[in-house]
Amino acid sequence: MTLKKLIEAGLTVRDGYVLEQLTKDESIIMTNLAGGIMAKAHITQIVDKLIRLRLVERHRQGGDRRKVYCRLTEKGQSFTMTDERVDDAIEQDYANFIKRHDMTEEDFRNWANDMESDS
């Protein structure tokens, strides 16, 4: 999945980050999707958007109804597949942004959380 593909589909880099995380694990707990980069509330908004686009679905495993998992749908799997895997494309975009703005990863997380609060 490339940045160009995300933009053409009307998705943001953050949407792409969530999709990328879901390509690494077949099923992942919603709270783990944030990865320390985004607030959990923002992940919920992104997942809701990706569900509307039929790229992602929520589900529960076992008897624990408190844990909500996400996984890619068939459409989501097709969308994220490329001829050559570019697993680090989104992380590289984040790294370039951090470097360009002379930030630490912690500074970036704080900035991203501040941006979410403002929206």
pLDDT tens digit sequence for 7-35: 788 888 888 888 988 988 888 888 888 77
pLDDT at 87 over 70: no
Q: In which domain, by residue range, is 48 found?
A: 3-118
CATH number at residue 85: 1.10.10.10
- Would you state the pLDDT for residue 23? 87
Token pair of 106 as six digits:
């912690």
Give the pLDDT confidence of 66-76 residue by residue, as tens digits. Answer: 888 999 999 99
On whether the CB atoms of residues 70 and 56 are closer than 8 A, the answer is yes
User: What is this structure's pTM?
Assistant: 0.65
Q: What domain count does the chain have?
A: 1
CA atoms within 13 A on the CB side of 33: 32
| Distances from the Cα of 109 to the Cα of 70, 104, 112, angstroms | 23, 9, 5
